[in-house]
């Protein structure tokens, strides 16, 4: 957590309202509206709202250009500082503790950066707002985007997970010869299996490899036609996997000595 945030003045105006989330038993009775987003929150989270807004607005152009998609309307972001109310808002009563956010009906629901779920820090939660925003844009291109591709783009664009966690997982996978395939991480709505297979770390590097080897134009085309590797990338799925493994061997299999155990 970053205590320095507390010293900053809020540069955005807040207004009280009643219709932002009136179903929720713990009402999010404050909101701040920006060019592209409407943030709903409670008073105890007001100290971090400027950071949330800056994270979203400062990344809006880059991401909408990369994905060639824009928001048609302002997107609602709900911030729930209580983990239970976060899970309720997400409609996930048995959600694992590590969940930092997700999508509701046409809106984004995240934890409070001031009260990060176990295993996460302030910045992880902050960037989760960006991660979910990326999902909204990817789903606009293709609502059936495979899990590995959808999560990979969200993680790669948002950088919401610690780099060391990704590096450590992937370099261990290289050492053990256990790199999942795209299909291994195509787990649909089964996020537990995706997490257990280190899906967040590997899918990040899969998209990183595609962007570096083929560019964003091909990445967007692959989202549109995720099963047409040959047509979009001029390469079979098996050969793309080989190229991906080569890529991570170059960029992730060295430098282990400097890896920290930071979570």
- Residues in contact with Zn ion by the rule CB under 5 A: 151, 154
CB 191, min distance to Zn ion, A: 8
Closer CB to Zn ion, residue 154 or residue 223?
154
User: Hey, how many other C-beta atoms are within 10 angstroms of the C-beta on 218?
Assistant: 15
Q: Which residues contact 57 (CB under 8 A, 6 or more apart)?
A: 34, 35, 36, 37
Min dist. Cβ of residue 7 to Zn ion (A): 32
**Shortest reach from residue 157's CB to Zn ion, in Å:** 11
Which one, 151 or 208, has the nearer CB to Zn ion?
151
Q: Please, which residue, 30 or 204, has the CB nearer to Zn ion? A: 204
20/55 with CB nearer Zn ion: 55
Question: CB of 117 within 8 A of CB of 99?
Answer: yes
Provide the phi-psi class of 119: left if phi over 0, else alpha when psi is between -120 and 50, else beta: left
Smallest separation (angstroms) from Zn ion to the CB of 13: 31
C-beta of 55: minimal distance to Zn ion in Å? 16
Rounded least distance, CB 57 to Zn ion, Å = 20
Residue whose beta carbon is closest to Zn ion: 154
Smallest gap from residue 131 Cβ to Zn ion (A): 6
SS3 letters for the chain?
CCHHHHHCCCCCCCEECCCCCCCCCCCCCEEEECCCEEEEECHHHHHHHHHHHHHHHHHHHHHHHHHCCCCCCCEEEEEECCHHHHHHHHCCCCCCCCCCEEEECCEEEEECCCCCCCCCCHHHHHHHHHHHHHHHHHHHHCCCCCHHHHHHHHHHHHCCCCHHHHHHHHHHHHHHCCCCCCHHHCCCCCHHHHHHCCHHHHHHHHHHHHHHHHCHHHHHHHHHCCCCHHHHHCCCHHHHHHHHHHHHHHHHCCCHHHCCCCC
Give 20 or 67: the residue with its C-beta nearer to Zn ion.
67
Which of 106, 177 has the CB closer to Zn ion?
106
Nearer to Zn ion, 78 or 151 (CB): 151
């Amino acid at each position: 957590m970053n205590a320095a945030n507390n010293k900053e003045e809020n540069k955005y105006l807040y207004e009280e309202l009643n219709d932002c989330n009136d179903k929720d038993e713990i009402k999010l009775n404050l909101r701040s509206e920006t060019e592209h987003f409407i943030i709903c929150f409670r008073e105890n989270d007001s100290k971090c709202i400027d950071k949330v807004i800056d994270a979203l607005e400062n990344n809006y152009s880059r991401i909408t250009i990369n994905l060639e998609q824009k928001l048609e309307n302002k997107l609602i972001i709900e911030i729930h500082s209580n983990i239970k109310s976060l899970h309720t808002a997400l409609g996930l009563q048995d959600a694992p503790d590590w969940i930092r956010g997700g999508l509701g009906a046409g809106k984004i629901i995240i934890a409070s950066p001031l009260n990060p779920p176990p295993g996460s820090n302030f910045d992880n939660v902050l960037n989760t707002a960006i991660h979910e925003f990326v999902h909204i844009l990817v789903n606009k291109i293709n609502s059936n985007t495979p899990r590995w591709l959808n999560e990979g783009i969200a993680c790669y664009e948002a950088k919401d997970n610690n780099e060391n966690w990704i590096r450590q997982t992937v370099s261990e996978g290289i050492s053990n010869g256990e790199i999942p395939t795209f299909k291994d991480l195509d787990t649909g709505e089964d996020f537990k299996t995706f997490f257990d297979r280190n899906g967040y770390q590997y899918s990040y590097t899969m998209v990183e490899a595609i962007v570096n080897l083929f560019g964003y134009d091909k990445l967007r085309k692959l989202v549109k036609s995720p099963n047409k590797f040959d047509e979009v990338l001029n390469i079979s799925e098996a050969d793309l996997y080989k190229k991906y493994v080569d890529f991570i061997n170059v960029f992730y299999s060295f430098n282990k000595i400097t890896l920290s155990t930071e979570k």
